[in-house]
Structure 1
């Protein structure tokens, strides 16, 4: 996963702020960027795959609704009698 420079800067600020607020530790920009890259590499694929799985379920559910709607619109075949 590749972050834009703006995204990386925002996340770096958020990480350094979190460390200061919650852990009372000052970490530098380099350390924060290292952590972000580590988590992107190690955890990012899990969330990416989960997003794809969730999207697949949603598309399947919507497709099922479309099939049901088409079946409701289908008229009885007068030639079958």
Structure 2
């Protein structure tokens, strides 16, 4: 798996969110450098867990849709003397 990367704009947005969280929830100030460091740490150490969860959710959604397609195909089937 390749490393999780964000564009400069995405990274700036996430860093701002981290700073806002620290300010509002923890009542602490965190600088841009520290927020970027924290983002890099979580991306490296925790990001794969979230990424994999997203893949599992996508697989489940796809499996459900495929089941719908299989049911639709089954309903199109005409009766014959063939055994399944």
* 3-state SS of 2:66 partner: helix
2:39 is equivalent to residue 36 of structure 1: yes
Please, which of 63, 66, 70 is the counterpart of residue 73 of structure 2? 70
Shift of 1:63: 0.8
TM-score norm. by structure 1 comes to 0.87
Gap runs ≥5 in structure 1? none
* 3-state SS of 1:26 partner: coil
Look up the match of 1:56.
59
Larger radius of gyration: 1
Gap runs ≥5 in structure 2? none
The alignment's C-alpha RMSD in Å is 1.5
Aligned length: 79
- More helix per residue: 1 or 2? 1
Shift of 1:24: 2.1
Mapped to 1, the partners of 2:47 and 2:28 lie a distance apart of 25
TM-score norm. by structure 2 comes to 0.84
Please, which of 5, 12, 15 is the counterpart of residue 8 of structure 2? 5
